Structures are given as structure tokens and as C-alpha cells.
Amino acid sequence: QKEVEQDPGPLSVPEGAIVSLNCTYSNSAFQYFMWYRQYSRKGPELLMYTYSSGNKEDGRFTAQVDKSSKYISLFIRDSQPSDSATYLCAMTPFSGYNKLIFGAGTRLAVHP
Amino acid sequence: EAGVVQSPRYKIIEKKQPVAFWCNPISGHNTLYWYRQNLGQGPELLIRYENEEAVDDSQLPKDRFSAERLKGVDSTLKIQPAELGDSAVYLCASSGREAFFGQGTRLTVV
């Protein structure tokens, strides 16, 4: 069993929909949680960085962490075609970007 | 400001041949990472440098992979000899307050 599980999708939604992306994990030592967006043939780019449990909002993006359930989520409001990409969760026990463990990524397609 | 620059973008080689990838990190970033991303998977760390020192190379297959970071700036990742299973995207990243990834080198071993 992988340390981080993420449904690969693909997930197809109409423009304007609310998108929910999720990851589960097994290592209770993870304290720092990230979401990356990766466009085709590009490197991942950091969207959200959160510590421990709770919510964090940035524009149309909201990240949630529930450590008791070992479950993290990324919500995208008012989704746009430009949001079409693969979304990767990542986590680590350490501050910074060391020992990041990535999920497999969820492919999202937002159609007009 | 330029981001993390990697070259080449694409490389096709025959198995058993050597191959090298180059990375120029963001200026001032002391930490540099090499990741491998297989198709349909998330990146997996191969090696992490703090300045010139490789501080985490536990995931690097040392029988065929090697890396160096001269003068704590640019880095090179080498595979010799390449195997079919090495086909993947090799990503370089660097971090200061935030980590940034390069576009990667897509390696195909035939």
C-alpha cells in the first residue's frame, strides 16, 4: 500500500463547477501538506502549502486537512478551462520541501 | 527572473548507452532536488543537495545513477548504462522559501 493514495481520475466537469480533489495517507508523521498543479509537459507548480489540520483559502482554491482521518482536500470554486491539469498532493513530516511524498495525481478537465 | 532551467527537454537513447541531464537552479537557492516521474505517477525524490553536499541520496540507484553539483550551483544527473525501465521524466527543483520545479527532461530508452 502506498503512503499517499490519490484517485487518478480523469475528472471531467463543466466550467463554473466546484471541484473536489482528495488524498488519503497512512503516515501519521506527515505534518505539512501541499497541492501542486502540473500542466501537460510542464513541471509541477505549488498551489497551496498548509501545516497540520485546518483550512486555508487562496482565491478560488481552498485546502483542507483532517489529520484525524488522514485525509486532505483541495476545492476549486468557479472552475475554468485553464484549471485543466493534473493536481498532485504532496506531504512531508518536515518543514520546507524535504522528503516530499507525492500522490499519483488526479487529471482534471474543465470543459466550456 | 528565470526559473529552474533543465536541458535537454527530450532525449531518446538506446539501452546500455549513457545519458546526462543538466539543471540550473534559481539564483540563490541552496537546496536542489532531482526527482523522477514515471508516467501516471507523482515525482519521486532521487537526491537532494544542500549547496555542494548530497544530504539525501537514499533513493538514488547508485549502481547506475550518479549526480554532482559543482560549486553549489548547477547540477548534473547521469545514468550509465541506461535501462528500458529508466524511461521517465527527470525533474530538477530548487528551493529557498518556496520550491520551484523545472520543466523536466523526458527520457525514452529504446
DSSP string, chain B: ----EEE-SEEEE-TT--EEEEEE--TT--EEEEEEE-TTS--EEEEEEETTEEEE-TTS-TTTEEEE-GGGS-EEEEESS--GGG-EEEEEEEESSSEEE---EEEEE-
Q: Which of A6, A37, A38 has the most B C-beta neighbours within 10 Å, making it the best mutation to test the interface with B? A: A38
As a whole number of angstroms, the distance between CA B34 and CA B49 comes to 9
Q: Tens digit of pLDDT for each residue in B58-104? A: 999 999 999 999 888 999 999 999 999 999 999 999 998 888 999 99
As a whole number of angstroms, the distance between CA A97 and CA B45 comes to 11
Residue type, position A16, single letter: G
As a whole number of angstroms, the distance between CA B83 and CA B13 comes to 10
Give the whole-number percent of chain B exceeding pLDDT 90. 92
As a whole number of angstroms, the distance between CA A99 and CA B33 comes to 10
Nearest to A97 among B42, B91, B95 (CB): B95
Instruction: Encode A7-30: b = buried (16+ Cβ within 10 Å), e = exposed.
Output: eeeebebeeebebebbbbbeeeeb
Grid coordinates of A58: 487562496
**Phi (first) and psi of residue A46, to 5 degrees:** -70, 130
Closest-CA distance of chain A to residue B12, Å: 16
As a whole number of angstroms, the distance between CA B99 and CA B97 comes to 7
CA A48 to chain CA mean position, Å = 8
Whether the predicted pLDDT of B53 surpasses 80: yes
Q: What is the pLDDT of residue A1?
A: 80
Chain B: residue nearest A105 by CA?
Answer: B42
- CB contact, 8 Å: A94 with chain B? no
**Alpha-carbon dihedral B69, B74, B80, B86, rounded to 10 degrees:** 110
Q: What are the start-end ranges of the H helices in chain A?
A: none
Q: What is the mean pLDDT of each run of 10 residues along chain A (112 residues)?
A: 91 98 96 96 94 92 96 98 98 87 97 96
Task: Give me the residues of A, 27-56, that contact B with CB < 8 A.
Answer: 41-46
Q: Which chain A residues contact residue B40 at CB under 8 A?
A: 8, 104-105
- Confidence tier at B1 by pLDDT (50, 70, 90): low
